[in-house]
Amino acid sequence: MSTLITWRDVAETVSWIVGWTYFTLWTLSFYPQLLQNRSRRSTLGVATSYFPLNILGFLCYLIYTATLLYSPVIRAEYALRYPSAPNPTVRLNDLAFALHAFILASVTYSQFFPAIWGYESGRRRERTRPAVWGVIIGIITTITLIASIAAANETRPQRDPAEEPVDSPDGGSYFRFDKIIYLDVTTALSLSKLLVTLIKYLPQIYINYINNSTEGFSIYQILLDFFGGLLSLVQLGIDAALEGSWEGVTGNLVKTGLGLLSMGLNIVFMVQHYVLYPGNGQVREDGSETEIGEEDSVLAEEVDEREPLIAAGGRGAPKYSGQRDLNGDISE
């Protein structure tokens, strides 16, 4: 007796294949920068501020996916809020990606500390900007506050609906603190991840702009990230169709926004790399690239080293424009 294969079976299989394909692409996207830093034994040209934000973002995404997959309380609250699509469109590959991304982002960030890896020993390291730490502290504080309110509301006795003030169609104000539940904590986590994704690329875009170069920043991670984001949206669309409602998309705002934001910012990097600054590397004598704010100090060191030789030769001080050629020499 032959087994009847329905369109739903096909769609679920395609969703599974697409999901693990995007997981593979997004997973591989973390290795080019890690391996490039290792081969160069340097993190110059890479924005330090990118990584603390990245770690926090993927920690939020990890908690978000884990709770929507395995928390009975949050899944029940989700079903009540989205009755047309009661099953979250979060899959195991989303959780696997978030966990792997959190680990790899943490390892790559550790490369900025010479005491751990010994990269660029003795050279000035770009510090994470105070504004970035401000964003991180603000996100953690907000999520903690929302989680505390939700926990307090869960232990509070339920009020009689007849006692609710009738100031909105559902019998109460949507923005009242006593309406916050654990599902709202996952919403805060998802919005935090989207905010981090929007912000985290900006320091690197700025460094590329200042240096007129994308040297030091791996373009391969951008290409993998772009196509991974595209496939994540494809899987989300398939899963929403299987649920028979677009509430599966609105209920998984982080996956929708993450794919769209990542693709948009990846396009900016591709334009910088292939159109605006193709092959424009500011290279030192040791073959590594200069970091933002470092070129002036390198020039000063080179001038200090040359002055005794110039004085010994009886020549006057050189005139230079502050530009160096590819060998690191000051051009006059």
- pLDDT, one tens digit per residue, over 83-115 is 877 888 788 888 998 999 999 999 999 988 888
Residues 26 and 220: beta-carbon distance below 8 Å = no
pLDDT at 267: 94
CA angle, corner 190, sides to 89 and 161, nearest 5? 80
Encode pLDDT of 7-18 as tens digits: 888 888 998 899
Mean pLDDT for 107-136 is 79
Mapped onto helix, strand or coil, the DSSP state of residue 289 is: strand
Name the least confident of 12-21, 98-107, 264-273, 311-320: 311-320
Q: Is the pLDDT of residue 284 over 80?
A: no
pTM (two decimals): 0.69
| Amino acid 174: pLDDT | 47
* 3-state SS class at 149: helix
| Identity of residue 325 | D
Tokens of 170: 């559902």
> According to the model, what pLDDT value does residue 169 have?
46
Lowest pLDDT segment from 229-233, 267-271, 317-321: 317-321
**Range with top average pLDDT, 79-88, 308-317, 323-332:** 79-88
- Among 112, 116, 134, 132, smallest CA distance to 124 is for 112
The mean-pLDDT minimum among 39-43, 130-134, 193-197, 304-308 falls in 304-308
